[in-house]
Structure 1
């Protein structure tokens, strides 16, 4: 499978999308199985976690009738639960990237694969993915803190000089902070959009994956930008919207979660989110392959983290 930017005058982004859909359709059962194992738990937990968290730790607060801003006291047990959930999300996220990246590369190159070989790929790509995850998020957090401190200092200077009257309202600060930080983080994310694929396929670690991603994606930044913007907004709106609705309905309280209407809504949102996330991960790997083609780099057989074994030679494809 290869790309030709001038073939039939098809735009590059459409070629990438068509190749993504071709990979998914030709191995639909395989990718559905991987999605159920690794992506479904993530999306399901993101949808139901806030409702049950508030119902368990703050059952007395009513978001519908209360007009005051909630003042929550956080216990040490809450912090532990949050940390455990964060580790759970990170573990399943990295495993999903490892397996889906391996499967997409195999399908892209018309190589045999099966579910076992995809799961085995976690063994060789997990720690490169983990190092990339830690380094990138450390930079994200550091940049956010630096911008927050810089914004606080700037606002204090402006206030003392009397150039603008500023109210002591945290909402104004957060609005300005989000307005400034989102473009910065989005720019970093676009430049590092291929980092996880590089870590899984080329077994590079940490800063090297970020540097190489910025190098490969330089000619395809707009495609990466619109890809992240579209899937980010779609998945984010679905998860946040369902969170708000389920919290307001008090899904985690009493036996509300047992009702058929609530259960069906949760399942519908989970299925849609899982399918969307799966398509995004496959598309990102296809984008990585296309960027390598632009740089005239041929993906060698040894680049894939897990070599073909006896099971794959039987051409058993799930």
Structure 2
């Protein structure tokens, strides 16, 4: 029986293992990507071109445009937000479920992946609400601190110039501190969606569970978040600019139209691929964190005990063995 090579618990191991799982079930992940990830990528990229004016178009805004962008016209942003959030939930549930079973070497099937949306919807939504509530409290504390500091300075007789460089520097320092705090919680809570799907935990419990598991792997979690965050953000910006160029093409029979269509399709396809691999890599990171804390060895032993009788083995269905070597 061939054994898959064991990777060390680092970023390269996470990326290599997630790539192996996606390649081993390429048609399955392709179907899920076309069903959920591609519409999600299109929604993220195309929305700015529909709701915001094109800065490159030499067109004066009409009264109709003003009415569309007025505060009373909120139906389109609300629908867009709901659609994007539902697609995100479906993506997290199906990709995480598939990667989790692919890691163990279990059969990865399409309809069970779709069924996971039903069982994972409430845990994912409740976990997201709990995380946003906690971040809201932290942000509110920073704003209250700034407000109390300004009022205290005024009561002491200091004149506050809100346009001065010192006040702007103070606000910038608080904004940077708040950003670092949010980044810290993003790192330690990065496994919460995976826990909500695989362990059916909900609310604050996946957040505390994630902060425990990621201990000792925070650098990997940070690297994974920064690398994919920068790549996805950069590629989204490039794809949005490409769509803006596409909207300026007037004649669809020209070569310029065909070229812009190919470029837009390439951008959207690569953005879909980035989102797929980021979700899969985060699931693999969850498994590696469990290995670091000694939880994975027992589960793999149980998995071998259940599947030992079903021979012969397929190389792609052998559970991946993770070893932790103490220095």
TM-score, with structure 2 as normaliser:
0.76
Residues 252-267 of structure 1: matches in 2 within 5 Å?
Answer: 259-267=257-265
Taking a change above 3 Å as real, the CA distance of residues 250 and 269 of structure 1, as seen in their structure-2 partners, is closer
1:271 — aligned with what? 269
The match for 1:76 among 72, 77, 101 is 72
The match for 1:135 among 100, 105, 130 is 130
Distance 1:243 1:171 in 2: 31
2:232 — aligned with what? 235
1:113 — aligned with what? 108
CA contact (8 A) 1:132 1:206 kept: yes
CA contact (8 A) 2:123 2:197 kept: yes
CA contact (8 A) 2:36 2:87 kept: yes
The match for 1:204 among 183, 186, 201 is 201
1:65 deviation in Å?
Answer: 9.9
Distance 2:182 2:108 in 1: 36
Distance 2:47 2:279 in 1: 23
**CA deviation digits over 1:285-316, x for unaligned, max 9?**
00001111111114759x99xxxxxxxxxx9x
1:202 deviation in Å?
Answer: 0.5
CA contact (8 A) 2:11 2:223 kept: no
Distance 1:276 1:138 in 2: 28
Distance 2:58 2:141 in 1: 36
CA contact (8 A) 2:242 2:260 kept: no
**Matched residue SS, 2:204:** helix
1:64 deviation in Å?
Answer: 7.8
1:216 deviation in Å?
Answer: 0.5
Gaps of 5+ in 1: 305-314
1:80 deviation in Å?
Answer: 2.3
Taking a change above 3 Å as real, the CA distance of residues 2 and 182 of structure 1, as seen in their structure-2 partners, is farther
Taking a change above 3 Å as real, the CA distance of residues 129 and 255 of structure 1, as seen in their structure-2 partners, is farther
Single out whichever of 122-131 and 173-182 deviates more from structure 2: 173-182
Matched, 1:100 2:95: yes
1:237 deviation in Å?
Answer: 1.7
CA contact (8 A) 1:43 1:273 kept: yes
CA contact (8 A) 1:198 1:209 kept: yes
CA contact (8 A) 2:28 2:108 kept: no
1:39 — aligned with what? 37
2:22 — aligned with what? 24
Distance 2:158 2:59 in 1: 39
Taking a change above 3 Å as real, the CA distance of residues 62 and 126 of structure 1, as seen in their structure-2 partners, is same
Distance 1:171 1:239 in 2: 30
Matched, 1:217 2:214: yes
Distance 1:174 1:74 in 2: 30
CA contact (8 A) 2:29 2:95 kept: yes
The match for 1:181 among 174, 178, 182 is 178
Gaps of 5+ in 2: 61-65, 304-313, 317-327
Single out whichever of 139-148 and 99-108 deviates more from structure 2: 139-148
Distance 1:256 1:145 in 2: 51
Structure of higher CA gyration radius: 2
